[in-house]
Amino acid sequence: MLTNFEIILVTFALLTFLVILYFFFKSFLTRKLMQNTISDVQPMLFDDEIQKVDNFKQELIILNLISMDKSNYDPNQILTLLKNLGAKYTNGFFGYYDISDKEIFRIASGINPGLLEAETKTYILLLAMDLYKTINPTKAFETMLQVATEIAEKIDATICDESRGPISKQMIEHLRSKAQEASIYQTTQPIFQNER
- pLDDT for 178: 92
Specify whether the backbone of 176 is left (phi greater than 0), alpha (psi in -120 to 50) or beta.
alpha
Distance CA 64, CA 125 (A): 6
- pLDDT for 51: 43
Phi, psi of 194 (to 5 degrees): -70, -25
- pLDDT for 47: 52
**Residue 113: cis peptide before it, omega within 30 degrees of 0:** yes
Tell me the whole-structure pTM to 2 decimals.
0.66
Distance CA 195, CA 143 (A): 34
Phi, psi of 80 (to 5 degrees): -65, -45
Per-residue pLDDT 10s for the chain (196 aa) are: 678 888 888 888 888 888 887 777 776 555 443 333 333 333 455 554 444 433 557 888 999 999 988 889 988 898 899 999 999 988 888 999 988 888 899 998 888 777 888 888 889 999 999 988 888 899 999 999 999 999 999 999 999 999 889 999 999 999 999 999 988 888 887 644 444 4
- pLDDT for 23: 74
Burial string for 120-151 (b: 16+ CB within 10 Å, else e) reads: bebbbbbbbbbbbbbeebbebbebbbebbeeb
Phi, psi of 107 (to 5 degrees): -125, 130
Maximum CA extent, the chain: 89
CATH value of 57-195 in 3.30.750.24, 1.10.1740.10, 3.30.1400.10, 3.40.190.80:
3.30.1400.10
What radius of gyration, in Å, describes the C-alpha atoms of the chain?
Answer: 25
- pLDDT for 54: 38
- pLDDT for 40: 39
